[in-house]
Amino acid sequence: MASSGRGALGLRGRGVGLGFTLLELMLAVGLAAIVWSFLAYVTVSLSRSVRYAEQALARKKAVIEVAERLRWQLRCLYTITPEGAPATPPSSQVNLSTLNGSFIYSQNQGQVGRDALLFKTTYFPAHVQNTGTAEVGYTILQGSTATTQGVNAPNPQATATPSARLGLPNPQELLADQKLEDPYLAYRQYPWADPLGLHDVPADPLVPWQVLSREVIGLEVRFSQDLEIWQEDWTTPEIPTWIEVSLELKTGDPLIFTVGPAAVAPRW
């Protein structure tokens, strides 16, 4: 009986030693919560960083696409006056050109980085619904001066919106944190090229300026015939041999490129 009692006491002693106290359990749960919180913080931080990087990459890609559009449109500058073109517009013509005899026109609009660039071109990206020759324009506007509706499109029965036809960003896709009073790059495209000249910078109710990029907040254009002497404005009927364009971005260094119209410049 005594031996049996000692065995029972020994088993009870070993059983108690295999368990965990309440303090040990609370400590284990606390450590697990700390590790889980740390992992959750790292996961959220990485997800946020990836999202910001993707947004920055998308904005950079959009700016590069805008610059490539402008560069190729200038490269394909249209400098031909059709044979038999009238010297004066017919009385029935609307949207009369005011810069007669011009194929390309650029002038500062009163502030640094607020140049306007107008010209005729034969190049349009694949997603822009236009064929042949058209007159296009680029300038910097601010506030709600430009619109995203109401462009006089070549096909008034088309189901696509004016913004889609011109390859412009959808207004609903603009980032919510962008301030509408900030300057932006505006674009205007006539569905034809008036043989008499260009339309001046002021807003045209039938072909209004449209938002092209809110990442571009400044536009400066210079012209040269020999890559040595440069001038800022171009208001003559002559064709410049070289054109330098500087796009000031909302973040980062300006995007600068030089292009020569194929009609007068040497091959690249």
| DSSP secondary structure letters along 185-196 | EEEEEESS--TT
The answer, yes or no, to whether residue 93 has pLDDT greater than 70, is: no
Q: What is the mean pLDDT of residues 249-265?
A: 90
Q: Across the chain, how many H-helices and E-strands are there?
A: 3, 11
With a cut of 50, say whether residue 158 has pLDDT above it: no
Question: pLDDT band for position 136 (50/70/90)?
Answer: very high
* Lookup result for tokens 């190049």: 123
- Residue 241 burial class via C-beta count within 10 angstroms: exposed 0-12, middle 13-18, buried 19 and up: middle
Q: Is it the case that residue 153 has pLDDT exceeding 50?
A: no
Range of the domain at 136: 53-80+94-259
Q: To which residue do tokens 């946020």 refer?
A: 48
Alpha helix (H) residue ranges in the chain = 2-17, 22-75, 162-165
pLDDT at position 131: 65
Residue 67 lies in a domain: yes
Q: What is the pTM of this model?
A: 0.72
13 assigned to some structural domain: no
Average pLDDT (138-166) is 54
Please indicate, yes or no, if residue 101 is contained in any of the structural domains.
yes
Cα–Cα dist 84/10, whole Å = 118
Looking at residues 73-80, what average pLDDT do you find? 92
Q: Is residue 114 part of a domain?
A: yes
3-state secondary structure of 51: helix
- Give the model's pLDDT for residue 205: 87
Q: What count of other Cβ atoms lies within 10 Å of the Cβ of residue 233?
A: 14
Sheet holding 134-142, edge to edge: 104-108, 115-121, 134-142, 183-190, 210-213
Mean pLDDT, residues 81-103 taken together: 67
| Mean pLDDT value across the chain | 80
Residue 8 lies in a domain: no
- The reply to whether 110 falls in a domain is yes
Domain total in the chain:
1
In sequence order, the β-bridge partners of residue 116 are: 107
Cα dihedral 157, 159, 165, 167, rounded to 10, equals 170
Domain-located, residue 186: yes
**Residue 1 lies inside a defined structural domain of this protein:** no
Q: Checking phi first, is residue 166 left (phi over 0); if not, alpha (psi -120 to 50) or beta?
A: alpha
